[in-house]
Amino acid sequence: MENDQLLNTVIARAKVWLGDGYDEETKAEVKRMLEAEDKTELIDSFYRDLEFGTGGLRGIMGAGTNRMNIYTVGAATQGLANYLNEAFSDLPEISVVVGHDVRNNSRKFAEIVANIFSANGIKAYLFDSFRPTPELSFAIRHLGCQSGVNITASHNPKEYNGYKAYWSDGAQIIAPHDVNIIDHVNRIKDLSEIKFNGDPSKIEIIGDKLDADFLDAIKGLSLSPELNKKYSDLKIVYTPIHGTGVNLIPRSLRNYGFTNIINVPEQDIPSGDFPTVESPNPENAPAMAMAIAKAKEVNADIVMASDPDADRIGCVIRDNSGEYVLLNGNQIVMILLNYLMTRNAELGRLTGREYIVKTIVTTETIKSIAEKNNIKMYDCYTGFKWIAAVIRENEGLARYLGGGEESYGFLAEDFARDKDAVSAISLMAEAAAWAKDKGMDFLRMLQDIYIKYGFSREEGVSVVRKGKSGAEEIIAMMKGYRANPPRQLGGSDVVTIKDYADLNLTDVPSGKITKMDMPVTSNVLQYFTADGTKISIRPSGTEPKIKFYIEVRGEMKSAADYDKAIAAATAKIDAVKKDLGI
């Protein structure tokens, strides 16, 4: 009975999309789903509305209320436009920047977004072609705009697309604007409320000049131009994995002085089909396979990649045996922050007003590096909008050196407010030149960090639970961990529990509870053990999964202890996973 009721509701919702106002292509797709014997696709497409959340929209492309298409994108833009006209009613002209990645339909969606803004009296700066996400963030600030929209699904599979909304500071939206925009989007109930017919006089195409300004700003981050020149022939293999980094990242590397940039021709072709990879995610080894093969062919010093919208960085280095191995996101952030802090100290640029930022699920080794260098460190929630919020709070008061998160994101600048693979890859190459000048490669540099600041090993585990029952199971799992927290993990007593849902920090031995200072609550749970193990658990905000972030500590007195430290940490991680039942 319940299934029949759901199907009847879905059919009724789908038939609305056969009416006036919907284009013929959409009608044909809906009609095909309605007539299909298997109604699974129809139900998936119409059983709910694609939710406009605090990060915007993300979903599979296609016809339907639960899909990314011109109508769901249109409703989101109309709601945002309504809110902008309300929030900035005192301005003579409101302006926004609209960008997009290489995905299928991204250009079409971006043009529709620009048209709707212009139809609502808002000036839209529209990029002439695909661009990295961080350049959109830069452009908002650079052009003095009030908002921005980027059409991208980051490193998701090719079936997906997304819609990211930004505020006037160049950061993705947070309170109070997030809930206000969501409210305005949810008010759009009818297709007739969306103003699709644009005003060409309100749309300005941008491109080359913004590229030059963005790259000039990134070049200004360089701390070792003389070393870049000295080691200009450093062999750097770079792949954009068919994405938006294809033009700007090699240009930025050349701006930094590096001349030996080796590409992967098959992956230099921008394509929303990502034809050479199953998933265009540089944190996964298969996505890096062609770049690693090229590195072996040319005997490269370092291999780097960006994801499709060029905000995440992937990096491969050589291990003790000469094999190319992936760095994890924590290691990339450690290397970059260590370089920025140490190099600033070498240059005498530290004044005591500097700070760095990491997210709560990112390695605690970064805290050790900051403390020993007398640099303030902030912990924030996962997501660069929270790193951007810390930068905003410190604007004019302290100097931002950099910030990052374990999910392969880093931001070295404050002129953009979202993670940036363009600057991160440029600075990673510079760090390699700096290390080489000290007689180190990246592996030895990483080992040096562990010797000085303590060894850590991290592993992420994602447990996928799809559909309505899966969502309920994830809720039940979080409730279970809260109601029955483990007493030990990996053979060490749990001594601290941080629950960000109510901001309670529990000292387990004494039972004392104190409140944590965070801007909002979040569905994240953390356990800390006596031996320094840290476990973070949170449901994903964009995918049907619950994520576990495991970090264990160890001892490493010399480079010779590296392999032994890894083996011991791996065994402890396995024990922790067993204790957690994952």
**pLDDT per residue as tens digits for the range 433-449:** 999 999 999 999 999 99
Average the pLDDT over 543-561 and give the result: 92
- 255-273 pLDDT per residue, tens: 999 999 999 999 999 999 9
Domains of the chain by range and CATH?
1-42 (no CATH), 48-206 (3.40.120.10), 234-453 (3.40.120.10), 455-580 (3.30.310)
How many CB atoms within 10 Å of residue 266? Answer: 12
* Confidence check: pLDDT of 100 > 50: yes
- pLDDT for 342: 95
Burial zone of 484 (CB within 10 Å; 0-12 exposed, 13-18 middle, 19+ buried) = exposed
- pLDDT for 4: 80
- 451-494 pLDDT per residue, tens: 999 999 999 999 988 776 778 889 999 999 999 999 999 999 99
* Confidence check: pLDDT of 232 > 50: yes
- 101-151 pLDDT per residue, tens: 999 999 999 999 999 999 999 999 999 999 999 999 999 999 999 999 999
Name the percent of the chain lying above pLDDT 90. Answer: 93
575 vs 55, residue with greater confidence:
575
Which residues neighbour 383 within 8 Å (Cβ) at sequence distance 6 or greater?
55, 172, 359, 405
- 146-162 pLDDT per residue, tens: 999 999 999 999 999 99
- pLDDT for 2: 56
How many CB atoms within 10 Å of residue 243? Answer: 32
How many CB atoms within 10 Å of residue 8? Answer: 10
- pLDDT for 542: 62
Average the pLDDT over 200-211 and give the result: 98
* Confidence check: pLDDT of 351 > 60: yes
Query: How distant is the alpha carbon of residue 84 from its chain centre?
Result: 25
* Confidence check: pLDDT of 5 > 80: yes
**Cβ(72)–Cβ(50) below 8 Å:** yes
- pLDDT for 54: 77
- 271-290 pLDDT per residue, tens: 999 999 999 999 999 999 99
**Cβ(522)–Cβ(504) below 8 Å:** no
DSSP H/E element including 327: none
Average the pLDDT over 503-521 and give the result: 97
- Angle, alpha carbons 525-530-534 (nearest 5°): 35
pTM exceeding 0.85: yes
Give the confidence band of 1 by pLDDT, cuts at 50, 70, 90: very low
In the three-class reduction of DSSP (H, G, I as helix; E, B as strand; rest coil), residue 10 is classed as helix
Average the pLDDT over 189-201 and give the result: 96
**What are the DSSP E strand ranges found in 197-285?**
203-206, 236-239, 261-263
- 30-53 pLDDT per residue, tens: 999 999 999 999 999 999 999 888
Of the candidates 157, 158, 176, 159, the residue with the CA atom closest to the CA atom of residue 167 = 176
Average the pLDDT over 552-578 and give the result: 95
- pLDDT for 464: 87
Give, in order, the Cα–Cα distances in Å from 366 to each of 317, 407, 426, 450.
20, 15, 21, 11
Work out the mean pLDDT of the chain and round it to a whole number. 95
DSSP H/E element including 38: none
Catalytic residues: 154
Whole-angstrom Cα distance, residue 84 to residue 74? Answer: 15
Alpha helices in 245-383 (DSSP H): 245-255, 285-298, 329-346, 365-372
